[in-house]
């Protein structure tokens, strides 16, 4: 995944949809676990924010989130999901829904003391979305 340059390229675009990816185990969302954030824009482009491979970098990709356990599942994968759960994307994410139809006006990248981009504030006309990486998880706060 690329760094936040994909987020900066989203400035001026209008949000068409928002999905949060949560870990689901035995049909229950695990609220204490972070997960990727996906923004789709009215021009048809999509970005997904997630954790970089090093576990501390905020990574952004110019694509939709892909479910590695999408149907149809092999017997082995089905047994794994039943035993351990899986990541699942959800539309209709509360306050994030207020972003739909609104334009991204500014993106602030936030770095740690080593200069690694670990967070971003995405300013939308009616709210701000803070995404940050902590202990190999991506967290999202809306204010």
Which three-class secondary structure state does DSSP give residue 62?
A: coil
**pLDDT tens per residue across span 78-106:** 999 999 999 999 997 788 999 999 999 99
* pLDDT for position 3: 45
Domain residue spans in the chain? 5-142
**pLDDT tens per residue across span 7-31:** 999 999 999 999 999 999 999 998 7
Other C-beta atoms closer than 10 Å to the C-beta of 121 total 17
| Distance, CA of 59 to CA of 9 (rounded, Å) | 14
Overall pTM surpassing 0.75 (yes/no): yes
Residue 86 host element (H or E) = strand 86-91
Q: How many CA atoms lie within 13 A of 45 on its CB side?
A: 13
* pLDDT for position 28: 92
| Distance, CA of 129 to CA of 60 (rounded, Å) | 14
* pLDDT for position 4: 52
């Amino acid at each position: 995944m690329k760094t936040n340059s994909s987020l900066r390229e989203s400035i001026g675009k209008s949000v068409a949809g928002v999905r949060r990816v949560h870990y689901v185990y035995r049909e229950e969302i695990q609220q204490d676990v972070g997960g990727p954030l996906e923004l789709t824009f009215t021009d048809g482009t999509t970005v997904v924010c997630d954790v970089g491979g090093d576990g501390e970098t905020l990574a952004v990709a110019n694509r939709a989130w892909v479910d590695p356990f999408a149907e149809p599942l092999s017997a082995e994968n089905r047994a794994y999901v039943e035993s351990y759960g899986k990541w699942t994307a959800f539309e209709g994410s509360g306050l994030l829904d207020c972003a739909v139809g609104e334009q991204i006006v500014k993106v602030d990248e936030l770095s740690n003391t080593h200069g690694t981009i670990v967070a971003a504030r995405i300013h939308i006309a009616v709210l701000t979305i803070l995404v940050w990486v902590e202990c190999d998880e991506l967290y999202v706060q809306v204010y």
